[in-house]
Amino acid sequence: MRDAYFDQLDAIIDDLVAMTALVRTAVGRASEALLTPDIGVAEQVISADVDIDAAREKIEDIAFELLALQQPVAGDLRMLVAALRMVDDLERMGDLSVHVAKVARLRMPEGAVPAPLADTITQMAQVAQDMVAQVAEVIADRDVEAARQLVRDDEEMDRLRKHEFEIMLSDDWEHGVEAAVDMALLGRYYERIADHAVSIARRLVYLVTGEKPHSED
Amino acid sequence: MRDAYFDQLDAIIDDLVAMTALVRTAVGRASEALLTPDIGVAEQVISADVDIDAAREKIEDIAFELLALQQPVAGDLRMLVAALRMVDDLERMGDLSVHVAKVARLRMPEGAVPAPLADTITQMAQVAQDMVAQVAEVIADRDVEAARQLVRDDEEMDRLRKHEFEIMLSDDWEHGVEAAVDMALLGRYYERIADHAVSIARRLVYLVTGEKPHSED
């Protein structure tokens, strides 16, 4: 009985890592759909979101079963509650990838990203994807150092977003209101993906060290 | 011992309702700061966010203590876990109110909202505030009907946001790129406040009826 319990606890970590891999694929493909641009890839991201939702449901079911039947205490209990909150973050990152894919789809067959923003958006997409990859390591290895690195990566995302706005609001901007609005929201989606990565990292740090996570916006 | 336990469970509901009241004030004042416009009120909202964070910490501390010491089962356990996820939603609604207040502050002493959008933004602010008020009732009374009403209110928010975009993207728009970008993000903040209200409502419906909440974006 207790062995099955520990197996199930381990299985939740594995499932979280697997869910993070799905999210990483979603973020990567959404960015590819946007920057190539490629309508087929955009549609894939949108339709694959059900897999992320299914991964969430599976983890929730196991976690609630463990909570109800095994009455875990102390560290195990905190881990299960943290897992339930991490799936909220991960599911949201999946939803945000769908938003990115929909921005891509909106302007097909032309690209949604005006030329002056191509470099900055490409970098934002890369930082987001790297952060999600890092999240998987943070969860799998309970790696506090990797978690702290995510907070620093998030500063790079903020810097890129500021730069994005400078370009859109400069006198040289020739792409009009609609493209600027699209790109402002797109930048927000990438920023939020990064914020959720940081949120997961902070939950992990709290779990391992007892340091309280701080509010994120 | 058990009496103290039930008192603490009740206290968590009261604390959630009190935290929701803080969020309602934040949403209401942020909108007032934006639409009056009033820099003092904007600053109030920004500095009062620590109270929302403190309310969150208090609820988390009590919930974790109950989970660890009382080993609640079945309905009580699900309620505590739901409470922990609801505080995530509520805290985020507070952060989004701060974002609204910062949009207000950014364009002082002039108003941030261009005249053609004043009506629509005023309505979005009102729907958001009403939804947060409804959230308090949903939690206090475990009111499934009020929870379902929130899903319908959210459709009104979506309709208003579409209308906002029609105005900004019409040929008559004379307020340039910067105001459009501000207003697009502002619209997103209100939409997200409404989404979090719906998320709390769905968690409550799940708690009371066992119906699974669906993914929200």
Q: Which two tokens stand for residue B17?
A: 């309702």
pLDDT higher than threshold 60 for residue B162:
yes
pLDDT of residue A217: 47
| 3-state SS assignment for residue B145 | helix
User: Tell me, what's the pLDDT at A176?
Assistant: 95
Chain B residue whose CA is closest to A179: B177
- pLDDT means per 10 residues, chain A with 217 residues, are 77 96 98 96 98 96 86 83 95 98 92 96 98 96 94 96 98 96 98 98 90 58
Under the banding of pLDDT at 50, 70 and 90, the label for residue B2 is low
Most A CBs within 10 A among B67, B69, B102, B216, hence the mutation to make, goes to B67
A91 touches chain B (CB under 8 A): yes
Rg of the Cα trace of chain B? 19
Distance CA B182, CA B79 (A): 38
CB contact, 8 Å: B163 with chain A? Answer: no
CATH number at A143 reads 1.20.58.220
Interface predicted TM-score (ipTM) of this complex, two decimals = 0.93
Name every chain A residue with its beta carbon within 8 A of the beta carbon of B207.
none
Count of the separate structural domains present in chain B:
1
Any domain includes A186: yes
Residues of chain A with C-beta less than 8 angstroms from the C-beta of B165: 181
Quote the Cα angle for B108-B109-B112, to 5°: 50
Give, in degrees to the nearest 5, the angle at Cα B192 between B186 and B198. 150
Q: How confident is the model at residue B7 (pLDDT cuts 50, 70, 90)?
A: confident
Task: Compute CA distances A69 → A61, B179, B197, B209, whole Å.
Answer: 12, 55, 31, 20
The more confident residue out of B98 and A74 is B98
A73:B77 CB<8 A: no
The answer to the question of residue A125 being in a domain is yes
The answer to whether the CB atoms of B177 and A176 lie below 8 A apart is: yes
Question: Would B170 be classed as within a structural domain?
Answer: yes
- Express as a percent the part of chain B with pLDDT over 90: 80
Assess A5–B contact: CB distance below 8 Å, yes or no: no
Report CB contact under 8 Å: B216, A95. Answer: yes
Residue A214 inside a domain? The answer is: no
Q: Is residue B199 one of the residues assigned to a domain?
A: yes
Sign of CA dihedral B54, B59, B60, B64: positive
Query: Is position A217 within any domain?
Result: no
Instruction: Report the phi/psi class of residue B75: left, alpha or beta, with left for phi > 0 and alpha for psi in -120 to 50.
Output: alpha
A-chain residue closest to B176, CA distance = A177
By Cβ distance, the residue of B176, B188, B216 closest to A185 is: B188
Cα distance from A188 to chain B (closest Cα, Å)? 8
Query: Is some CB atom of chain A closer than 8 A to the CB atom of B181?
Result: yes
Q: Containing domain of residue B89, as a range?
A: 2-209
The answer to whether A139 and A13 have CB atoms below 8 angstroms apart is yes
Q: Quick check: B178 pLDDT over 60?
A: yes
Which residues does B113 contact at the CB level (< 8 Å), separation at least 6? B34, B35, B121, B183, B186
**Could you tell me which residues come within 8 angstroms of residue B68 by beta carbon, excluding any fewer than 6 positions away?**
A73, A74, A77
- Whether B215 is in a domain gets the answer no
Rounded to an integer, what distance in angstroms lies between the CA atom of residue A102 and that of residue A18?
A: 24
CB contact under 8 A, A215 and B49: yes
The token duo for B70 is 């009382």
Reported as type and span, the H/E element at residue B25 is: helix B2-35
Q: For residue B189, which amino acid is it?
A: Y
- Domain contains A215: no
- Helix axis angle, A176-209 relative to A74-106, nearest 10°? 170
For residues B88-94, average pLDDT: 97
Q: Which pTM was predicted? A: 0.94
Query: Residue A210 has what pLDDT?
Result: 79
Cβ–Cβ contact A6 with B under 8 A:
no
How far apart, in Å, are the Cα atoms of A177 and each of A93, A115, B25, B37, B172? 27, 15, 33, 24, 12
Residue B103: HSE in the Cβ half-sphere, 13 Å Cα cutoff: 29
